Structure 1
Amino acid sequence: MILKDEVLTEEGLAPAHVGRVLLIACGALAHEILALKAANGWSHLDLQCLPAKLHLWPEKIIPAVEEAVAENRGAYETIFVVYADCGTGGLLQAACDRLGVEMVEGPHCYSFFEGNDAFAARAETEFTAFYLTDFLVRQFDAFVWKPMGLDRHPELRDMYFGNYTKLVFQAQVNDPALDAKAEECAQRLGLEYERRFTGYGDLLTALAAVAR
């Protein structure tokens, strides 16, 4: 009889969690992670998303990740945190080191979507760029316009964005509707528009390594 917490392998019985990977991820990355799972057949990767709005309070990301790891540790062979530093000042990395889990490298998702090396190479000449990903274009009002109070006080726009010169849309997929919306976002912010197709960048590389 095989117990519910065991699986039959070529070598015999093994705990059911063997080979299973849990991705604890920012909710802003859910669409991209699910797309990569489907495209690559990574059925052994499970996804648990934390609220995307935690980015508004980076200090809340760390306890949320710690709680998720503690709740799931016994059910998975590997847990991987799909966050970059995301404004935690290195504290998320320190927490992951303490918990014995790995995380995506990079300062933020704009960097790892572009590729951390490529993003760093542009940093000195592109410090007046404001970035949007596919997710942020879709959720521009909820994550940019309203939290900054621009829906109530549009006159604040130039105060917030006066030092920016352009909006860079880092496109993960080719979607004309998203392109049009991103260009509209640039117009609303009074910025020049640049579309840059990045694909999934280092996110794909990181998840492929975990999947192996």
Structure 2
Amino acid sequence: MIPSDETLTQSGLSAGGTGSVLLIACGALAREILALKSRNGWGHMDLTCLPAILHNHPERITKAVEDSILKHRDHYESIFVIYADCGTGGQLEAACARLGVEMVAGPHCYSFFEGNAAFGAHEDEITAFYLTDFLARQFEAFVWKPLGLDRHPELLDTYFGHYTKLVYQAQIDDPKLIELARSHAERMGLAFEYRPTGYGDLETTLAGWARQSAP
């Protein structure tokens, strides 16, 4: 059973299964990874997720990932990390290299969901605010409340005045999620762009790791 978004935000997901490979991921990616595992029959790959809310404190991500690798490495033949840089300033990449663990390439999940090459070609990326399926559902927990906008809506322009649009990168085709993301854009006073990305480089990276580690 997939935990609720609230659980994935605050607690993550404990490792489970009998596979020989462990995927250590951000809780914001759990549903997508589990969907890909099921669709492709990657039963030899287990999943554990760190709390997604760590993204509000990127300085904590590297140590949390490192601790998880050290906790699990004696129980698995291989470990892969499903984080991009995610605001760690290269520290996560350095830690994974030191521990001999591969991770997903790219600056953040917005980039690898779209495909790093395609995302890098956008000239207006700096003025776009991005949401994924998970963040569309968890907008209050990740954006509105942490920034205090539920208590001080007058700060909206202070935080988002330099943005011109909200880009919703959709992993699945869900009209309700599209309308939810659109409502977030309206609330922020931003233009809305719907961009169906699917799983992007996440899927191709996982497929490569699955072939590499297949029993």
Q: Which amino acid aligns with 1:120?
A: G
CA contact (8 A) 1:25 1:48 kept: yes
Give the TM-score taking structure 2 as reference length: 0.88
Shift of 1:19: 7.1
Partner in structure 2 of residue 41 of structure 1: 41
What is residue 188 of structure 1 aligned with on the other side?
187
**Secondary structure of 2:30's match?**
helix
Percent same amino acid among aligned pairs? Answer: 70
CA-based RMSD: 1.1
Matched with 1:120 is 120
Aligned counterpart, 2:32: 32
8 Å contact kept, 1:19–1:77: no
Aligned residue number for residue 104 of structure 1 = 104
Q: TM-score, normalised by structure 1?
A: 0.90
C-alpha distance 210-172 of structure 1, shift in aligned 2 (>3 A) = same
Rounded to whole Å, the distance in 1 between the matches of 2:161 and 2:61 is: 29
Report the 3-state secondary structure (helix = DSSP H, G, I; strand = E; otherwise coil) of the residue aligned with 2:121. helix
> Following superposition, which runs of at least 4 residues in structure 1 exceed 6 angstroms of deviation?
none
| CA-CA distance at 1:126 after TM superposition | 3.1
Q: Secondary structure of the equivalent of 1:127? A: helix
Paired residue secondary structure (2:84): coil
The residue type equivalent to 1:181 in the other structure is L
1:17-28 to structure 2, matched below 5 A, reads 20-28=20-28
Tell me, yes or no, if the aligned pair for 1:172 and 1:199 is still in contact at 8 Å.
yes
2:208 aligned with 1:209: yes
The answer for the alignment partner of 2:81 in structure 1 is 81
- Structure 2 residue 185 is matched with structure 1 residue 198: no
Code of the aligned partner of 2:176: A
1:174 is paired with a residue whose SS is: coil
Measured in 2, the distance between the counterparts of 1:19 and 1:177 equals 35
Residue 139 of structure 2 is matched in structure 1 by: 140
Question: Could you tell me how far apart the structure 2 residues matched to 1:141 and 1:126 are?
Answer: 23
Distance 2:136 2:34 in 1: 18
1:26-63 deviation per Cα after TM superposition (whole angstroms, max 9, x unaligned): 00000110111111111111000000011111111111
Q: Extract unaligned runs of 5+ from structure 1.
A: 1-17
Q: Structure 2 stretches of 5 or more lacking a match? A: 1-17
